[in-house]
Structures are given as structure tokens and as C-alpha cells.
Chains A and B, each alone.
Chain A
């Protein structure tokens, strides 16, 4: 009997770890573009996640434009549509603020403009958090879908041990994987993707090759914002959220990006997956308060043992 419970708990934690991990993975890809590849320190990334949640909420519930899609498909399509909305916002942010403290303007300067980026993005983060508080109120919200309370059952596998797969999470996970693969293909094989990567890698050389580096940066930054927002929209289907939820996730995102190895989009996905997995599995042995501490301990251990990240190829040299 005890063994059955144990097996059931372990299998369910694994399943939850993988599904949630994939959504975290998508969320980390957004930051992976901005921080991992462009090396912009963005403290407002959590707020972009939050904006994705609210965008999806206002699209698909109440009298939103997409409300006609109903509670089954609506939330997921809403999440995907949150992407372009936040993408546009990200492009504006970059044009008017971020571009002044990053890219060609600060390349080669002492500290590479990180001090400026820290302050600017912290300011943006404060404005977005508190702006959301004013506009949306402090009541926790959720994009309700009946799928969140239904699950696929697999098993019984061993005795009565059954794996429950929450339908909302499973669909969200599938959408996350498809989005991540699409983005990967775009970055890897299209002309746009190649120019983005070239510009991020070496802005000066990219300029010589005739790439409009400012535009490439703006698109890459906005893409990073949009991708994280899609992940936010997906998370909104199984999680209640408020204006300050970004603070909880910004650290998780940075952990994921560093774990995966900076500069790699796939690495960021795997890093996010690892963080989600560790978080869910630690629930088996640790009290809930210590689950987040477990993430940081694992994060510190991996960073100490493999400073280049789990999937990165070479360490950063000073």
C-alpha cells in the first residue's frame, strides 16, 4: 500500500514536472533571447509574463474579442495572441528606452552598459507592476477553463497507482513545445533569424555585413518579450495571478537561462524544464516552503560545478 502511494506520488510529480517544466522552458526562451544572447540585463521580464497573463485574460473572458471561442480553446488561443500584443509593447520599450543603454551604444564600454540596463529595466518593472495594479486591481485573477479541473488518467500502473495528467496543463505544455520549436526553426533557418543571431553575437561585424542592427535588436528584444508573454498566457490557465506575480518568476527565468548555458535557445528551454522539474519533484521530499529554496540550491550547485551551464559549450571568459 505504502509503495503504491509512493509510486503514485513519484509518477505524478514526474508528470507535473515535465508539463510545467515545458511551459517554464518557453518562458525561459524569452529571457534567453534577451539576456542569454543579447546580454541585456532585463529585470522587467517577470512583468512581461504578467502582461501576457492579463492580455490573455482580457482577450478571452467577459466581453473580450476572443470570448466567442469558448472556455475550451479560447484560453490557449488567447495565450498565443498575447504574444503579438506584448511583442509590439516590447518593440516600443526597446526603441525608446532599452536601445539607449544597450547594443551599439554601449558595446565595448566599461560594464557593457549593464548598470544602465539594471536601472532602466528596474524602473520599467516598477511602472508595469504598479500600472497593472492601477488598471487591473489587486484581486487575483485566472483564465478559467473547465479543462483545469479535468485530467487524463493513465493506469492504474502498479496496484492502484494512477498518473493524473491535468488537461489544461497538458494542452498548455503542447502549445509551449510547438511554439518553442517554431521559434527555434525561425531563428535557425530563416534570413531574419540568422541576421538576429549575427547582430546579437557581434553588432559591429553585423553592421559591416549590411545588417540593420538596430532593427534586428528591436525585433529580437520584442520577440523575447512576446515569447515570455505566451508562456504567461498559458500559465494563466492553471494559476491565479496578480500584478506582482512577475517577482516570483523572474528569478526562475534567470536560473533557467543560466542553467541551460547562456547564448543557446535550446539550452534555455532545457534549463527552464530542469527548474520546473526540480521544483515539482522537490515537493515529494520537501515541505512547500522549501521548494523554491531547492531551486536555488540546485541552481547554485550547477553553476558552481558547470559554470558554462548544463548545455552550454564554453565558459564565459572575463
Chain B
């Protein structure tokens, strides 16, 4: 469980019971069959929204084609009843199973795609299935009538029983969603949504978590579809695989509040009755007017509340008071830099590492070593290949040639999250945080990524926050941190995985002089605790303070390496930084 999960779960659980009971009590008082139908459709569409929300809301994998799973559920239930006389009580779970399998089959090829390409490829699946079903002659499939056994065949004369079942399934779906949100599953998905690469660098196996999300989501969507078939009794490919069905999942969720448990429920509770009653009231007078009003309604509400109703209401009226943020680090006196030399055992060894992009040798024949407990500064002008070097080391890019070992084990040929699990923490030039989540959650991601069990993970995260001096801000949402605090947060996230080696990419970028000193103090203390650090940096004076040795890169090659003093007096370095003319003038 994530930190702070039990009270959150309890609160949401109680809300779930109250809302379900109130809804059922209200529904039992409705006698008009048309309104009864609307009341059973609300939880079904909400459940469909919950399923979309898991993959696309939490995980950020925008799917325009969730109707695939909805339709698969609906058709499985109907055809199983038609051909095998299977009761929907078994048909719906079977549909969920088929939906989950479909998730695997669809996910395998499609997760190779990212962003827009993923979203659009998802769009193609339900439409391809739709045309195939039409071709196979399933244009219109009626539910076989078995009025004599309503309980067995789920064919109730009283619409309200469907509402009961739908609410039950929705409650189950919401429970799954709550458990996901409060576990490492949900945190992994939110991390992937923020930045897949940073999540992987924190040790998260993005592909696997995305696949799990899709499979869960597929099963839930198929369940919703299966029940939908029972309620409607007549199926057409368009009514369950059509583009408007996919749109329904997206609309109810975005409208209600994306990446929140209650979003799809709020969205469905408002939009489904709105659309249906517009249909009934206005549709007969002027055909089409209901669509215009509905379209205008969703546009207006979206403009008023771009993140969905849930977040707007919460941010406006239920913003929790923030803990006092006190100054984090009491500035410490600059310490005498201790020169370590190559005393410790060798931790990282890089030999003849090369990487080209087309004709450009971004990293060319680079060799160096980092000893345990040492801070190695990697410096060089823009475009020298510093970040590319890190990208090769932690598996973002493959090496063309060369060797890189951590404590004797090769780091090359592994995926990003696997390198992280070897004990390599990494930060990026651009900080990625989860703005709505408290700082502690932001850091726990790193501990989960390293594979720590729940309890240890929270401990490691708290410890990491203490090491960078942010423990007092643990409850503050990351969106309210300063730039320096965000940099330290990212450092803590890398530390939470208990790495042996830290690769820091321009951690000091964009910081003022004093802030810079504070971060340097943190790094200094980490080194004293025995941490090994390789850091990329532009600012020479900062590096002079903390680095034990420098490696200077230029045009992908190692220009020179050695102690800070040796390096700054090296003519080649001065030339690379300041140009040959400057050097000539100096010498003249």
C-alpha cells in the first residue's frame, strides 16, 4: 500500500457504501420503466468509464478504441447464450476473461507505439472488429427469450433488478480502482503518465505495468459490455463497437474528473440522464436538437472545468490546509574539499564506449572509471555527448561498441529499469514530478521501482527525504515546491531505490548561487555517507567545490581527465570551453 492509504481507502469505501445504498433506495422508488432503464444505464457507463480511466486516466495511455473490450463482452455474453445456452451469470465472467485476453493480444503489438500513434491504433481495433462482425452476419443479434427463468437467464421484467446488479458490478469495479490507486500499481501508472522514461529510470518496468493496466481495464470494460447486452436485449455491432461507444467512456471520465476514482461515476450520473432525457423530451419535437444541446453542454462544462468536475470542486472547496513549510536546509559553512584520489575499489568502469547517430559520433571511444565513494564531474561544452553518455550507461540508448560494468557486471544490453535495479539511480535535466501527489508519494516511486516491499519502501523514501533535507515537506503536493526543492525531490527519488551509483544530469541547472550551494552541501553529505556519484555540470566553480576528479568530454571524446586543478590548467580544456583565439590571446 502507498503511504497514507488506509485512511483514504476507508474514506472512499464508506462513500462508496453510502452512494450505492442511496442510489438503490432512490431507484427502488421509481416506477416509470423508461427512467428505470436510465437508472440501470448510469452504473454501466460509469463502470465502462472506470475501465478507461485505469489505462488512460491513471496510466496516460490514451485509448480512442475502448469499445473493443465493451463490445467483446457484449458479444461474448450474447453468443454464449445463443449457441451454448450459457447463463449470463457465467457469460459475464467469461466475457471479462475474453476481454482480458483481448487486452493481451491488443497490447502486445500496440504498446510498441507511443502517444498519438497508440491512441489512433487503438481506434482501429473496434472498427475492424465491427466490419468483420457485419460480414459474419451478426448485424443484429437478439437475446433469446427465456421469460420462464428470469433469474437464471438474467431477463427480469422488473428493470430495477438490473440496476441492482449494475450497481453491484460498479461497486466492485470501483473497489478494484481504489486498490489500484492506493498500491504500487497505481503509483507506477501515474509515474508512467508523467514521463515514461523517468519512470523506467526509477526502476519501473513500464511495459509490464501498462500491460497489467490494459488487461484489468479490458476485463472491466467487457463486464460492463456484458451487462449492457443483458439490459438492451438486442445487439448491433454499431451499438457496442461504434466510435460513439468509445467516445462515451472518454467523455464520462474526462467530464467527471480524469485519474480520480469518482470521476467516471460523477460523469455518468450527470451525462447519461441528460442525454437520455434530452432524447426523450426534445428528440421527438425536433430530431437532432438533443445532440446539439448535449454537445453544447459538454463544451461549456469542459471550458469551465478543464480537468473534470471532481478536480475543480476539490481544488476550489476542499483544498486541504498545507503543512507549514519551513526553510529546509540551514546553510552550512563550505567545507574543505577532501581529495580522495582513487582510494576506494572501482565501482563503474567504462571502456572504449561508442555511440553514433548516423554519421555523428556522439560518444566516441570513451573510457574512464569511478571509484567507490568518489564524486566524478563530467564536464564539457554543449553537444559534447555528456547526456548521451548517461543515456547509454542507463540503457536509454544502446551502445555501438565498448564495455561498461558496474562492480564487474555489464550494464549494457539491459533495459532502463533493469539498469536501475542493478543499483544505478539517475536524474534528468528536466525535473518530472507528480504535481497533485504529496512529496512522499513522488519519492516512494523510486523505492517501488527498486523492488522494495511496501513497508521498507516507505521507510526508504522517508530516509531519502531526510538525507536531502525535505522531510518536513513530505505531505506537500509536489506542484507547490520550488525549483530547488524539486531538484532535491528528484535526487531523493533516485536515493529511495538505495542505489550504489548516482548519475546526476545537471542537477544544478537553473539554480541561484545560494540554492546551488545548498544542493552541493547535500551532495557533499551523500559522499561522506559513502555514495558514489557521477555528475554532469556546466558551472565550473560548483564542480571545483565538490568533484574529486573530472572527465572532460568534447565532441564525444575524452579530452582529458584528472584532479580539478590539473584539468583547469589544461590548455586543451580552456580551448574547448573558451576557444582557440582566447587561448592565443592569453598566451601572447
Binding site for B on A (CB under 8 A): 35, 39, 41, 43, 97, 100-101, 110-111, 114-116, 118-120, 122-127, 129-134, 138, 243, 247, 250-251, 254-255, 258, 262, 287, 289-290, 292-293, 296-297, 299-300, 303-304, 307, 316-318
Q: A116-B306, A119-B251 are in contact. Are A247 and B243 (CB under 8 A)?
A: yes
Are A317 and B114 neighbours in the complex by a CB distance under 8 Å? yes
- In the bound complex, CA of A96 to CA of B298 (Å): 15
Rounded to whole Å, the gap between the CB of B261 and the closest CB of chain A is: 17
- In the complex formed, the residue of A with least CB distance to B196 is A318
**Beta-carbon contacts under 8 Å, B297-315 to A:** 297-299, 302-303, 306
- In the complex formed, the residue of B with least CB distance to A243 is B288
Binding site for A on B (CB under 8 A): 60, 62, 109-110, 112-117, 119-121, 123-125, 127-128, 131-132, 134-135, 193-197, 243, 247, 250-251, 254-255, 258, 286-292, 294-299, 302-303, 306, 435
- In the complex formed, the residue of B with least CB distance to A118 is B250
- In the complex formed, the residue of A with least CB distance to B193 is A110
Residues of B within 8 A of A255 (CB): 120, 124
- In the complex formed, the residue of B with least CB distance to A121 is B299
- In the bound complex, CA of A119 to CA of B303 (Å): 10
- In the bound complex, CA of A114 to CA of B119 (Å): 11
Residues of A within 8 A of B132 (CB): 290, 293
- In the bound complex, CA of A265 to CA of B254 (Å): 31
Are B299 and A124 neighbours in the complex by a CB distance under 8 Å? yes
Are B113 and A307 neighbours in the complex by a CB distance under 8 Å? yes
Rounded to whole Å, the gap between the CB of A218 and the closest CB of chain B is: 18
Residues of B within 8 A of A97 (CB): 299, 303
Are B247 and A122 neighbours in the complex by a CB distance under 8 Å? yes
Are A119 and B193 neighbours in the complex by a CB distance under 8 Å? no
Give which listed residue, B116, B250, B296, contacts A39 with CB less than 8 A. Answer: B116
Rounded to whole Å, the gap between the CB of A204 and the closest CB of chain B is: 14
- In the complex formed, the residue of A with least CB distance to B243 is A247
Are A119 and B299 neighbours in the complex by a CB distance under 8 Å? yes
Rounded to whole Å, the gap between the CB of B289 and the closest CB of chain A is: 6
Are A130 and B291 neighbours in the complex by a CB distance under 8 Å? yes
Are A119 and B298 neighbours in the complex by a CB distance under 8 Å? yes
- In the complex formed, the residue of B with least CB distance to A36 is B116
- In the bound complex, CA of A317 to CA of B196 (Å): 10
Residues of B within 8 A of A110 (CB): 193-194, 435
- In the bound complex, CA of A129 to CA of B244 (Å): 13
- In the bound complex, CA of A161 to CA of B194 (Å): 59
Q: A290-B131, A290-B132, A316-B116 are in contact. Are A251 and B295 (CB under 8 A)?
A: no
Can you report 25 residue pairs joining A to B where beta carbons are below 8 Å apart? A41-B119, A101-B302, A111-B60, A115-B254, A116-B302, A118-B250, A119-B250, A119-B254, A119-B299, A123-B294, A123-B295, A125-B295, A134-B292, A138-B287, A247-B243, A258-B116, A262-B116, A289-B134, A292-B127, A293-B131, A293-B135, A299-B124, A300-B125, A304-B113, A307-B113
- In the bound complex, CA of A100 to CA of B296 (Å): 15
Extra inter-chain contacts (7) besides given A39-B116, A119-B299, CB under 8 Å: A101-B302, A111-B60, A115-B254, A119-B251, A123-B299, A127-B295, A304-B112
- In the complex formed, the residue of A with least CB distance to B109 is A304
Chain B CB within 10 A, most for which of A100, A124, A138, A258: A258
- In the bound complex, CA of A185 to CA of B449 (Å): 51
Q: A110-B193, A114-B62, A116-B302 are in contact. Are A258 and B120 (CB under 8 A)?
A: yes
Do most interface residues of chain B lie in helix, strand or loop, or is the interface mixed? helix
- In the complex formed, the residue of A with least CB distance to B300 is A123
Residues of B within 8 A of A134 (CB): 286-289, 292
Give which listed residue, A251, A293, A317, contacts B123 with CB less than 8 A. Answer: A251
Residues of A within 8 A of B116 (CB): 35, 39, 41, 258, 262, 316
Give which listed residue, A122, A133, A258, A297, contacts B298 with CB less than 8 A. Answer: A122
Are B135 and A300 neighbours in the complex by a CB distance under 8 Å? no
Are A296 and B302 neighbours in the complex by a CB distance under 8 Å? no
Are A296 and B127 neighbours in the complex by a CB distance under 8 Å? yes
- In the complex formed, the residue of B with least CB distance to A133 is B288
Rounded to whole Å, the gap between the CB of A306 and the closest CB of chain B is: 10
Residues of A within 8 A of B297 (CB): 123
Are A297 and B128 neighbours in the complex by a CB distance under 8 Å? yes
Are A316 and B115 neighbours in the complex by a CB distance under 8 Å? yes
Residues of A within 8 A of B294 (CB): 123, 126
- In the bound complex, CA of A110 to CA of B121 (Å): 21
- In the bound complex, CA of A26 to CA of B193 (Å): 35
Are B117 and A316 neighbours in the complex by a CB distance under 8 Å? yes
- In the complex formed, the residue of A with least CB distance to B303 is A100
Residues of A within 8 A of B109 (CB): 300, 304
Are A287 and B135 neighbours in the complex by a CB distance under 8 Å? yes
Residues of A within 8 A of B250 (CB): 118-119, 122
Are B124 and A307 neighbours in the complex by a CB distance under 8 Å? no
Are B258 and A296 neighbours in the complex by a CB distance under 8 Å? no
- In the bound complex, CA of A247 to CA of B518 (Å): 58
Residues of B within 8 A of A316 (CB): 114-117
Rounded to whole Å, the gap between the CB of B71 and the closest CB of chain A is: 14
Residues of A within 8 A of B255 (CB): 119
Rounded to whole Å, the gap between the CB of B169 and the closest CB of chain A is: 26
Chain A CB within 10 A, most for which of B119, B131, B135, B196: B131
Chain B CB within 10 A, most for which of A262, A297, A303: A303
Are B295 and A124 neighbours in the complex by a CB distance under 8 Å? yes
A-B pairs, top 3 by smallest CB distance, nearest first, are A130-B291, A126-B295, A133-B288
Rounded to whole Å, the gap between the CB of B230 and the closest CB of chain A is: 27
- In the complex formed, the residue of B with least CB distance to A39 is B116
- In the bound complex, CA of A124 to CA of B132 (Å): 30
Are A296 and B124 neighbours in the complex by a CB distance under 8 Å? yes
- In the complex formed, the residue of B with least CB distance to A297 is B128
- In the bound complex, CA of A116 to CA of B255 (Å): 9
Rounded to whole Å, the gap between the CB of B355 and the closest CB of chain A is: 16
Rounded to whole Å, the gap between the CB of B181 and the closest CB of chain A is: 17
Rounded to whole Å, the gap between the CB of B126 and the closest CB of chain A is: 9
- In the complex formed, the residue of A with least CB distance to B113 is A307
Are A130 and B295 neighbours in the complex by a CB distance under 8 Å? yes
- In the complex formed, the residue of B with least CB distance to A304 is B109
Rounded to whole Å, the gap between the CB of A254 and the closest CB of chain B is: 5
- In the bound complex, CA of A120 to CA of B290 (Å): 17
Q: A111-B60, A126-B295, A129-B291 are in contact. Are A258 and B254 (CB under 8 A)?
A: no
- In the complex formed, the residue of B with least CB distance to A132 is B288
Residues of A within 8 A of B254 (CB): 115-116, 118-119
Are A123 and B296 neighbours in the complex by a CB distance under 8 Å? yes
Give which listed residue, B117, B287, B302, contacts A258 with CB less than 8 A. Answer: B117
Rounded to whole Å, the gap between the CB of A314 and the closest CB of chain B is: 11
Q: A122-B298, A126-B292, A134-B286 are in contact. Are A293 and B117 (CB under 8 A)?
A: no
Chain A CB within 10 A, most for which of B121, B124, B247, B251: B124
- In the bound complex, CA of A221 to CA of B443 (Å): 41
Rounded to whole Å, the gap between the CB of A135 and the closest CB of chain B is: 9
- In the bound complex, CA of A131 to CA of B296 (Å): 11
Rounded to whole Å, the gap between the CB of B39 and the closest CB of chain A is: 24
Residues of B within 8 A of A123 (CB): 294-299, 302
Are B243 and A251 neighbours in the complex by a CB distance under 8 Å? yes
Give which listed residue, A101, A129, A132, A300, contacts B121 with CB less than 8 A. Answer: A300
